Amino acid sequence: MKKIGILGGLAWPATVEYYKAICELSQKYHADAGLPGPSPMPEMCIESVNINYSYNRRGTFGDEESWTAYDAYFHAALKRLEDNGVDFAIIASNTPHNRFDAITKGLRIPVLSIFEAVAATCKAHGVSDCLILGTEPTMDSGIFPGYLKRHGVNGFAPPEAALKAKVTGLISELFKGKSDNGSARIDEVVRASCDQTTGKQSVVCLACTELPLAFEGKEQCETFHHNGVFYLNTTMIHANATFRYAVEGEGA
């Protein structure tokens, strides 16, 4: 198995979900191997950074200069993973992916993009339109819709600032490891966003790695249905892609 590097802490509850998912996938993968001792695990290095530090260094899209400190913080953490000897890395959060090119510039190790993994999953499921729920940078930057477009998917954010604020308010609570009626609150945003579109919208991308935690029991599903809506769980899509890449080329 390749050694996995994880840039985590953005926020910590999602880092837990990634780590748990990869460990459980390894247990399933080795279940019938009959090896002596506990189930083998891929070696991993998790760089868990300070989300408060990065949050307060967010820049403005369109102003490259304003992102210098933000980009540097994440690039340095990925560089430490590279120096550690990991074979590849992931960033366990959607938000920094809006600065993916700047953050990963000059690294020798591959970094698996969450936006790319989700876009491929959309294509595999024949998704044509997709509502994007996430942090401000993910809903506003236009970066994620660009990835989706290359796979023939029309991605768009909630049409009103008040709806976006409901999403980011919920994310703040989930960052702390708890929230009330999360799935119902997301459902409201989805209905209101659909009312203002063509009406054919029924696919929603939970493009913040914390958002799936609002749907109890669904945290480990790549995709799931809830109240007639088809949800994409970016955390699990990315975690599954990570484990597949870690074991690729092994075995018979």
Q: Are 22 and 42 in contact (CB under 8 A)?
A: yes
Interface residue with a copy of itself among 2, 39, 136, 230 (CB under 8 A) is 39
Closest to 155 in 3D by CA, of 134, 182, 180: 134
Is 168 a binding residue for a copy of itself by CB under 8 A? The answer is no
| Contact between 15 and a copy of itself per CB under 8 A | yes
Classify burial at 198, counting beta carbons within 10 Å of its beta carbon; exposed 0-12, middle 13-18, buried 19 or more: exposed
- Segment lying near a copy of itself (by CB under 8 A), choices 63-71, 116-124, 172-180, 228-236: 172-180
Give the nearer residue to a copy of itself in terms of CB position, either 2 or 151: 2
d(CA 78, CA 91): 9
Respond yes or no on whether the N-terminal peptide bond of residue 89 is cis (omega within 30° of 0). Answer: no
- Would strands 111-112 and 88-91 be described as parallel, antiparallel, or unpaired? parallel
Q: Is 223 in the site for a copy of itself (CB under 8 A)?
A: no
Residues 77 and 123: their CA atoms lie apart, in Å, by 32
> Judged by CB under 8 A, does residue 175 bind a copy of itself?
yes
State the burial class of residue 158 (Cβ atoms within 10 Å of its Cβ: 0-12, 13-18, 19+).
buried
Measured CA to CA, the distance from residue 189 to residue 195 in angstroms comes to 10
Q: Assess 245 for contact with a copy of itself (CB under 8 A).
A: no
Cα gap 222→234, rounded to integer Å? 7
Draw the binding track, 119-158, toward a copy of itself (x: CB under 8 A; -: no contact).
----------------------------------------
CA distances from 145 to 10, 58, 116, 120 (A): 21, 20, 11, 13
According to CB under 8 A, which one of 2, 43, 61, 129 is a site residue for a copy of itself?
43
At closest approach, how far in Å is the CB of 65 from a copy of itself?
21
Q: Does 103 bind a copy of itself (CB under 8 A)?
A: no
Residue 55 binds to a copy of itself (criterion: CB under 8 A): yes
Q: Which one of 2, 29, 59, 80 is in contact with a copy of itself (CB under 8 A)?
A: 80
Does 208 sit near a copy of itself (CB under 8 A)? no
Given candidates 14, 25, 29, 49, which one binds a copy of itself under the rule CB under 8 A?
49
Asked if 106 touches a copy of itself (CB under 8 A), the answer is no
Using CB under 8 A, list all residues that contact a copy of itself: 9, 11-12, 15-16, 19-20, 23-24, 27, 35-53, 55-56, 80, 83-85, 172, 175-177
